[in-house]
Amino acid sequence: MIGTMPMMDTMIAQTIQLALAPVFVLVAIGNIIGTLTQRLGRVVDRSRQLQREHGETEGMAHDVLVREIRSLDLRIALIGSALLRLVMAGLAIGITVVLLFVAEFAHVGLNSVAAATFIIAIGLLMWALLIFLKETREAARALRIPEEFLEKDRKL
């Protein structure tokens, strides 16, 4: 029994080292979730403000307001979609780490399953980042200054 302790300690150390890469990905996912949550909060606050103003506008001002509300609605949906994929990626990373430890200690060949869950997690992360890119592009498009304010026909 005493002779197996150093071997067990080595197995634990190796498994922890193997699990570090997925854990670093998990930290990155958490940071991105934090960023998206902050953006979502700002978008929701702005949408609530515009909804209060909705009944007080008419004509061209109302059209501008409705266009912005539509853009905010799209951004809320995109952020929600990205957050869903990030949470799913985080869960897949957690499953990967569990599989690595179970494979090591139960002496079960789960390495290919662990690799598959890690690949799924990275795929979900990349998908979420593409959605995040789309959301930031929508935000930039919505924040563009209308042409009539730029007065490009004037030399200044």
Predicted TM-score (pTM) of this structure: 0.83
Q: How far apart are CA 21 and CA 102, in angstroms?
A: 17
Structure tokens at 116: 């598959």
Query: Which whole-number Å values give the CA distances from 115 to 14, 29, 54, 106, in the listed order?
Result: 16, 18, 51, 17
Share in percent of the chain as helix, strand, coil (round to 5): 90, 0, 10
pLDDT of residue 149: 81
Q: One digit per residue, pLDDT tens: the chain, 156 residues?
A: 555 566 666 767 777 776 788 989 999 999 999 999 999 999 999 999 999 999 999 999 999 999 999 999 999 999 999 999 999 999 999 999 999 889 888 888 888 999 999 999 999 999 999 999 999 999 999 888 878 888 888 888
Q: Residue 55 in contact with residue 115, Cβ under 8 Å?
A: no
Specify the pLDDT at position 2. Answer: 53
Q: pLDDT at position 34, please?
A: 97
Rounded distance between C-alpha atoms, residue 74 and residue 78, angstroms: 6
Collect contacts of 20-29 with beta carbons under 8 A, ≥24 apart: 22/93, 22/96, 22/97, 22/100, 22/118, 22/121, 23/93, 23/97, 25/89, 25/93, 25/121, 25/122, 25/125, 26/90, 26/93, 26/94, 28/125, 29/86, 29/89, 29/90, 29/93, 29/125
Token pair, residue 138, equals 């929508």
- pLDDT at 98 (0 to 100): 93
Q: How far apart are CA 94 and CA 117, in angstroms?
A: 9
pLDDT score for 101 = 87
